[in-house]
Homo-oligomer: A and B are copies of this chain.
Amino acid sequence: MYYKCMEGQQTIGIVGGGQLGRMLTLAALPLGFKVVVLNPSPGSPAAQVGAEEIIGDLYDSAALQKLAAAADYITIEIEHLKVSTLKAIAAQGKPVNPAPATIELIQDKFKQKEFLAQAGVAVAPFMEVTDEASAVAALKKFGGKMLLKTRHGAYDGRGNMVVSSVDDIKTAFEKFGTAALYAEKFIPFTKELAAMVARSVSGEIAIYPIVETIHKRNICLEVLAPAQADETALKSAKSLARKVAQLLDGAGMFGIEMFLTRNGKVLINEIAPRVHNSGHYTTEACRTSQFEQHIRAITGLPLGDSSLLIPAAAMVNILGERDGPTKVEGLHAALKLPHVSIHFYGKSPTKVDRKMGHITATGDTVKQARARALKARKLIQI
């Protein structure tokens, strides 16, 4: 059931009703907004917390137009959608944020890299790959170790492969099939860093602390806030994140993922034009969560404070451990640990490596917060 309970009440339309849509909904409702999400199947994580649901594919123009008709503001929780329709919706005068042009740029990782390189932003060396021969040439150019990445549709580790031989390249081409690819030099990094940056429709900018992200199998496992790195690196990461956010059109949160190389250089890895897994810790650790900040940013409200409230926080993802109906065990033991918060997304079934929830622990030091979060994670089965 869906009620407009206030005169002049405004509705936020979100493309996608997954966990990001859910947490955006949880932030939007207390501010007095209504939320409607477009999702391929009913009972989405967002609908479970009070969003109205339009059922449809994110590449279905009619469904996107239906969302637009029901909402005063359009935003996204996932960038894999029909961008031409969002452009049409924006052209009709409906506020769409991030800008469709930004989503389009992000959809093609190769174009994203080109854009950043042309703007003078430090990125790892990369090149287009059109066939196995050009991949072999890239491997030679990049010193015998590189990443082959699909240009489109990759997320949570799907669409990335490290290759260091012609055999590896053959395997990658078999795996990726006809997908368009590009190659990126393998850069040994000491840490992966990230920052959430908010820009509002009025141009106001707020930057969250630089955090460290830890990936395995190309999936984000942990986020540590603040990142433990030398001041120069943190400063350069912060100014790089701000620069990148300023390059992109449209309002909202931007998740900026970076590499800190062995020689202390910061490179941009990739950009998410939306709230992001590396910003989940902000719910417990910052005065304004990334979710509330995004809602403020796209609706023209002033941005909130983005600093850390507490010395340290650690976020650990709860990834599915098996395939089957969702069943949670260990909640009691995990909540026995001090300063631990747990967020389930209401997804079923559980699948290996599916993002089912996350844990945020806080503490006096990153080490303490991380130990709490990891211990809590170990106690939960899903």
Selected from B30, B343, B348, the residue in CB contact (under 8 A) with A343 is B30
A153 close to B (CB within 8 Å): no
Distance of A312 from chain B, by nearest CB (Å): 13
- Cβ of A132 within 8 Å of any chain B Cβ, yes or no, is no
Measured CB to CB, the nearest residue on chain B to A7 is B327
- Kindly report which residue of chain B lies nearest to residue A342, judged by CB atoms: B31
Q: How large is the interface on A (under 10, 10 to 19, 20 to 34, 35 or more residues)?
A: 35 or more
Given A6-B328, A7-B327, A335-B301, A342 and B310 touching (CB < 8 A)?
no
- Given the known A-B contacts A43-B5, A347-B5, A348-B5, are A32 and B305 also in contact in the complex, defined by CB atoms under 8 Å? no
Known contacts A3-B48, A5-B48; decide if A338 and B305 are in contact (CB<8 Å): yes
Bound CA span A335–B304, Å: 7
A93 at the interface (CB under 8 A from B): no
What per-residue 1/0 map shows which CB atoms of A348-367 lie under 8 Å from chain B? 10000000010000100000
A106 to B345, CA, bound (A): 37
- Residue A42 is within 8 A (CB to CB) of chain B in the complex: yes
Contact of A326 among B7, B300, B301, B344 (CB under 8 A): B7
Majority secondary structure, A binding face: loop
Tell me, rounded to whole Å, the shortest Cβ–Cβ distance linking A197 to chain B: 19
Cβ of A26 within 8 Å of any chain B Cβ, yes or no, is yes
Residues 19-53 of chain A, each 1 if its beta carbon lies under 8 Å from chain B, else 0: 00000001001111000000000110001111001
Residue of B29, B305, B332, B343 touching A49 (CB-CB under 8 A): B29
Q: How many identical chains are in the complex?
A: 2
Q: Tell me the complex Cα distance, A309–B357, Å.
A: 24
Contacts of A50 in B (CB 8 A): 47-50
Q: Is the CB of B302 within 8 A of A43?
A: no
A7-B325, A47-B1 are known contacts. Are A332 and B29 too (CB-CB below 8 A)? Answer: no
| CB pair A342 B43 closer than 8 Å | no
Q: Smallest CB–CB gap between A56 and chain B, Å?
A: 16
Does B49 contact A339, Cβ atoms closer than 8 Å? no
A331 at the interface (CB under 8 A from B): yes
A191 at the interface (CB under 8 A from B): no
The verdict on A287 contacting chain B, using a C-beta distance below 8 Å, is yes
The 3 closest A-B pairs by CB, nearest first: A3-B43, A7-B327, A32-B344
28 examples of A-B residue contacts, CB within 8 angstroms: A1-B42, A1-B43, A1-B47, A3-B42, A3-B48, A5-B43, A5-B326, A5-B348, A6-B325, A6-B327, A6-B328, A30-B343, A31-B331, A32-B328, A32-B344, A32-B346, A47-B50, A287-B339, A287-B362, A300-B332, A301-B331, A302-B336, A304-B338, A304-B339, A304-B340, A305-B339, A309-B309, A309-B310
